[in-house]
Copies of this chain bind each other. A is one copy, B any other.
Amino acid sequence: MPVGTAGTVKAVPQDVLEELGAQIILGNTYHLYLRPGHELVRKLGGLHRFMSWNRALLTDSGGFQVFSLSELRRVTEEGVSFRSHLDGTSHLFTPERSMEIQIALGADIVMAFDECTEHPAERERARQSMEMTLRWAKRSKEYFEAHKHEVPWAESGHRDIGASGHPALFGIVQGGMYGDLRRESAERTVELDFPGYAIGGLSVGESREKTMEMIAIVLELLPKDKPRYVMGVGYPEEIVQYAAMGVDMMDCVLPTRAARHGLLFTSEGRMNIKNARYAQDQQPPDPKCGCRVCSRYTRAYLRHLFVSAEPLAAVLNTVHNLAFYLDTMRAVRHAIKLGDLSGMPSRSVSLA
């Protein structure tokens, strides 16, 4: 899922996202709540209509951004109070409030309000945080079930997806870097019965091996007939690896954020386009890529745009990186149908 933080995948028009084959994008509840505000979005028909995006939308719970972006946050049983990074105003996110906001935004997939355990965390701290996330998951579900029909699109007719007339709420597994806590979190989250499950609190500074270990432990316990979503990952080779392990969904700011810093993902590896070696390079960014950027522009031109701080640099770099990521996932889906992921680039894993 490309990340569309504030109701826009940064620098990319919606028709280009469609052409790239993005089936679902992610919106950040924290950002949209602060600006333009969820009540405004609800009034204007929900986020799909507000941003003119008729395909699927997932919103996160707001919890992670509160931890990473806001100031002076205080966590209590009730929820998290914090100050906006934009203007310093005080706010409170609770499980109920997060549901209310996400329902107002009208996402197709709503995420339970969780606490993303910091890393590193002592075992006891990780346990307490996991217990809190479980209690918050229960509260999230109760509020969600009572209000899920209030999405802005409920009355105006059904959307293509969500034919049920309401969004789906996913639970989130936490537990820090402790296998037994991850197991317990997974089992007790599944007991709460969600239509999909996410694995949160990963890619927060731990080793790649640890990430994989945690994912493997949790995947064993999540129902195979429900979507399984690892939040906030990863590099192209990672997403292939996780998909091979059985992960169905991922989101990451990497392709879009790296693009704005001049980092391109290609079939030949990562390319820092501002490097002087590309000044006269007339090849496309990725000779094996058929995207609209690689079909038309050279590395020399992209380098010029980037070193000149031209706004088109962010546009073109982002379009290519998203094409690369979405092509990677298309190849993964194809390989899954064929029953073998071993032919995937930079990978030699086969389906479990």
Residues of A90-116 contacting chain B, CB below 8 A: none
Nearest neighbor of A45 in chain B, beta-carbon distance:
B282
- A311 — which chain B residues lie within 8 A by C-beta? 10-11, 260, 311, 314-315
Chain A interfacial residues counted at CB < 8 A: 37
Q: Is the CB of B50 within 8 A of A8?
A: no
Q: Does A44 belong to the interface (CB within 8 Å)? A: yes
At the interface with chain B, which of A64-72, A159-167, A294-302?
A294-302
Count the copies: 2
Contact B315 A50 (CB under 8 A): no
How many angstroms between the C-alpha atoms of A292 and B316 in the bound complex? 18
Indicate which residue in B12, B51, B307, B312 contacts A8 across the interface (CB closer than 8 Å): B312
Question: Could you tell me the distance between the alpha carbons of A230 and B135 in the complex, rounded to whole angstroms?
Answer: 70
Q: Report Cα–Cα, A312/B7, bound state, in Å.
A: 10
Residues of B within 8 Å of A308, CB to CB, are 6, 35-36
Interface 0/1 of A8-42, CB less than 8 Å to B: 10111111000000000000000000011000100
List, sorted by A's number, 27 A–B pairs whose CB atoms are closer than 8 Å.
A6-B304, A6-B310, A7-B301, A7-B304, A8-B310, A8-B312, A10-B310, A10-B311, A11-B311, A11-B312, A11-B315, A12-B312, A13-B312, A13-B315, A13-B316, A35-B307, A35-B308, A36-B279, A40-B280, A44-B282, A44-B298, A50-B300, A52-B297, A52-B298, A260-B311, A311-B314, A311-B315
10 interchain residue pairs of minimum CB distance: A11-B311, A36-B304, A8-B312, A52-B296, A6-B308, A8-B310, A311-B314, A10-B311, A52-B297, A35-B308
